[in-house]
């Protein structure tokens, strides 16, 4: 009998928890449609078949939504609402009709070609997580519709024991077609942590890991898989000793998680009494219930650009108001910080064609630069935010600020919006106004900005990118993207010092905010507001309770003499490990 060799693999933690089960590989179905010519007289019948397939697919989605609704899972319901909207996308339906009439091919072939062109267009725009997820969503729907057109229902595995789903890309339809009671864990090659399937996994407490390279080449059906969704580690063919060790770790985590449930509705503080606010980053309305379950102290970053990317026109004031109001009401009394439109670089929209002409969009019209160029669109968004501020603790934040004139110009537009609302008799609130600190210039003149805004929020992803002159989407220079680089930490300290001197709050909301090795550093600088993905909130709150900020401050001095990112990391690792128990770190 061949010996089963234990193998460890690593990806990105997407949904916390431990799981063990046998592998079930879900191969992505590549639809193959034979192109069949039709006669002009057959067009009507083909269109009727298409309309019927769309209707049947919609009925399936509604049934799945109702099924989850009966279990009280409202998050998943909204995922299906978005799929139904995409299914009935007028642009796609019209394109299929035109192709059918022009090329005289069967409707399956016409539909598949249009979907492929649509997905290719999304993928060409850039390596953007939102657009990649929309492409997945469209592909998922197309699979459903093509099955209806071909009279197939497809094969659905019957699960009767704990299984670990292994997939290149896991679609929502794949997941909901299975008996979730037996889905113990999920591992994918695709690296999206915010796909609808992963959102569903998190809401169901199913451990998940994404972004595992060469996954499908390394695992076969039926192999025993151990998943640590908190650390992003999976073990193939784990030994009995490894399983026992992981079970003990799981029990330890269970202890901490039970303790967390007791403090979820409370603010946390460090050992020496420093209060720390841990809030959530969100993009979509369906993120709000997840945020509430996570124990977040509000919404520290509401990325509104995704509302603008979802359609071929800007959202209306009323559409935006309803979404912002919903966030404010649900988060109340905790704060909601709404970041205004941050289009730019790889986020482009059809209704701003002038942006397509830029040769270097990363250094071109981004964030506030677009808003100040498209003033009416900007004012519409500000009016919606001002109105939503009546309903809760709402603040507004402006991205890509590099110059004081941008803040002053923005404040003028806010005043104009208030005047209009007042004249029209529409109630509005008085949100605090802050800026994103995400360029070296904003750090260097942070003292000046602190005189004219109410708060700072550090956008660490762009701050690293612009400080180190590294495009984080460019694989050729990705190795230079270093969160622990001394220059990045010095700029963060500069911004924190300016905020504290003026006595205004400062938070951090990029990927660095959830890095456990940087947590002591941020708290020691006085950055006591952290905003991150909901999945990291419990762990961060737990960690805060072990830290003694006054002692950490006394141990930071060697950090400022460090010359490299590696030296910085080693110092912070030593500090962090001296306060936190081993369970917080990878083995």
pLDDT of residue 164: 93
Is residue 221 located within the same domain as residue 288? no
Q: Please give the annotated binding residues, written as ranges.
A: 303, 339, 438, 461-462, 472
Where does a domain end: 212, 228, 254?
254
Does residue 503 form part of some domain? yes
Residue 65 has pLDDT above 50, yes or no: yes
Pair 489, 553 in one domain? yes
CA distance 165 to 183: 7
- Whether residue 398 is contained in a domain is answered as yes
Q: Considering the domain boundaries, does residue 33 fall inside one?
A: no
> Would residue 260 count as lying in a domain?
no
Tell whether the model's pLDDT for residue 124 goes beyond 70: no
How many CB atoms neighbour CB 116 within 10 A? 14
Same domain, 24 and 84: no
Asked whether residue 383 is domain-assigned, the answer is yes
Q: Return the CATH number at 376.
A: 3.20.20.60
pLDDT tens digits, 511-533: 789 889 999 999 999 999 999 88
- Residue 412 pLDDT class (50, 70, 90 cuts): very high
pLDDT (0 to 100) of residue 250: 62
Residue 70, pLDDT > 50, answer yes
Q: CATH number for the domain including 64?
A: 1.10.274.10
User: CB of 11 within 8 A of CB of 211?
Assistant: yes
Q: What is residue 475's predicted lDDT score, i.e. its pLDDT?
A: 58
- Residues making up the annotated binding site for Mg(2+) are 438, 462
Q: Mean per-residue pLDDT for 426-437?
A: 97
Number of residues written out for the chain:
587
Position of tokens 């720390």? 276
Task: Verify that 180 and 281 share a domain, yes or no.
Answer: no
Residue 87 near residue 77, CB atoms below 8 Å: no
36 occurs within a structural domain: no
Q: Do residue 278 and residue 424 come from a single domain?
A: yes
Give the containing element (helix H, strand E) for 124. Answer: helix 107-125
- Predicted confidence band at 1 (pLDDT cuts at 50, 70, 90)? very low
Do residue 298 and residue 361 come from a single domain? yes
Give the phi and the psi of residue 535 in degrees, each rounded to 5: -65, -20
- The whole model's pTM is what? 0.66
Residues 22 and 87 in one domain: no
Q: What is the pLDDT of residues 451-478, one digit of tens each?
A: 999 999 999 988 998 999 987 656 577 6
Share of the chain above pLDDT 70, in %: 82
Whether residue 95 is found in the same domain as residue 23: no
Q: Are residues 19 and 57 in the same domain?
A: no
Is 406 part of a structural domain of the chain?
Answer: yes
Active site residues: 196, 509
Asked whether residue 279 is domain-assigned, the answer is yes
- Residues sharing a CB contact under 8 Å with residue 93, sequence separation 6 or more, in sequence order: 54
Report d(CA 172, CA 168) in Å as an integer: 13
How far is CA 42 from each of CA 37, 104, 182, rounded to the nearest angstrom? 10, 9, 46
Same domain? For 85 and 202 the reply is no
Q: Measured between alpha carbons, how far is 572 from 559 in angstroms, rounded to an integer?
A: 8
Residues 172 and 90 in one domain: no
User: For a pLDDT cut of 90, what percent of the chain falls above it?
Assistant: 42
Q: What is the pLDDT of residue 358?
A: 65
What residues form the annotated binding site for phosphoenolpyruvate?
Answer: 303, 339, 461-462, 472
3-state secondary structure of 529: strand
Nearest 5 degrees, angle CA 235-CA 240-CA 243? 50
Tens digit of each residue's pLDDT (9 = 90 or more) over 547-573:
999 999 989 999 999 999 999 999 999
Number of independent structural domains in the chain: 3
| 261: enclosing H helix or E strand | helix 240-263
Is 119 in the same domain as 176? no
- Higher per-residue confidence, 286 vs 385: 385
Give per-residue pLDDT as tens, 160-217. Answer: 788 999 988 787 667 766 777 788 999 998 776 656 677 677 766 788 998 888 888 8
Domain of residue 178 covers 7-28+158-254
């Amino acid at each position: 009998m061949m010996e089963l060799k234990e193998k460890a693999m690593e990806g990105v933690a997407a949904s916390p928890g431990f799981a063990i089960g046998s592998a079930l590989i879900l191969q992505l179905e590549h639809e193959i449609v034979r192109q069949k010519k039709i006669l002009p007289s057959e067009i009507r019948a083909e269109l009727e078949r298409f309309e019927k397939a769309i209707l049947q697919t919609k009925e399936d989605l509604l049934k799945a939504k109702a099924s989850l609704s009966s279990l009280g899972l409202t998050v998943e319901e909204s995922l299906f609402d978005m799929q139904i909207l995409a299914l009935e996308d007028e642009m796609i339906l019209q394109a299929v009709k035109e192709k059918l009439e022009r090329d005289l091919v069967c409707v399956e072939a016409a539909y598949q070609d249009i979907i492929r062109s649509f997905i290719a267009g999304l993928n060409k725009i850039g390596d953007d997580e939102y657009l990649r997820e929309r492409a997945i969503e469209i592909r998922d729907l197309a699979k459903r519709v093509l099955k209806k057109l071909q009279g197939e229902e497809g094969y659905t595995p019957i699960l009767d024991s704990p299984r670990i789903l292994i997939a290149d890309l896991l679609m929502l339809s794949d997941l909901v077609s299975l008996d979730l009671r037996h889905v113990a864990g999920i591992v994918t090659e695709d690296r999206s942590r915010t796909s609808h399937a992963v959102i569903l996994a998190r809401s169901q407490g199913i451990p998940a890991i994404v972004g595992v390279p060469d996954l499908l080449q390394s695992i076969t059906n039926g192999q025993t898989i151990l998943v640590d969704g908190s650390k992003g580690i999976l073990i193939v063919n784990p030994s009995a000793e490894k399983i026992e060790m992981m079970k003990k770790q799981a029990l330890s985590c269970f202890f901490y998680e039970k303790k967390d449930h007791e403090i979820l509705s409370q603010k946390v503080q460090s050992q020496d009494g420093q209060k720390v606010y841990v809030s959530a980053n969100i993009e979509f309305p369906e993120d709000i219930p997840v945020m509430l379950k996570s124990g977040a102290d509000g919404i520290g970053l509401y990325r509104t650009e995704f509302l603008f990317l979802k359609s071929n026109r800007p959202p209306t004031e009323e559409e935006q108001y309803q979404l912002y109001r919903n966030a404010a009401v649900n988060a109340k009394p905790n704060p909601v910080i709404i970041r205004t439109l941050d289009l730019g670089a790889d986020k482009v929209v059809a209704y701003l064609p002038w942006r397509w002409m830029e040769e270097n969009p990363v250094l071109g019209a981004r964030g506030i630069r677009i808003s100040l160029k498209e003033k009416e669109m900007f004012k519409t968004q500000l009016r919606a935010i001002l109105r939503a501020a009546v309903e809760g603790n709402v603040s507004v934040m402006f991205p890509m600020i590099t110059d004081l004139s941008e803040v002053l110009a923005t404040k003028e537009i806010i005043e104009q919006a208030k005047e209009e609302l007042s004249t029209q008799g529409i109630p509005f609130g008085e949100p605090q106004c802050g800026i994103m600190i995400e360029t070296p210039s904003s750090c260097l003149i942070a003292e000046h900005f602190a005189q004219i805004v109410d708060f700072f929020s550090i956008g660490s992803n762009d701050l690293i990118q612009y400080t180190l002159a590294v495009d984080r989407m460019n694989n050729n220079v990705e190795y230079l993207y270093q969160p622990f680089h001394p220059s990045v930490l010095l700029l963060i300290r500069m911004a924190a010092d300016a905020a504290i001197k003026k006595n205004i709050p400062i938070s951090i909301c990029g990927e660095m905010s959830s890095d456990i090795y940087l947590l002591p550093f941020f708290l020691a600088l006085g950055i006591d507001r952290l905003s991150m993905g909901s999945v990291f909130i419990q762990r961060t709150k737990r960690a805060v309770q072990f830290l003694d900020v006054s002692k950490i401050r006394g141990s930071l001095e060697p950090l400022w003499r460090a010359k490299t990112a590696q030296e910085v990391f080693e110092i912070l690792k030593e500090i962090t490990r001296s306060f936190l128990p081993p369970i917080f770190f990878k083995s």
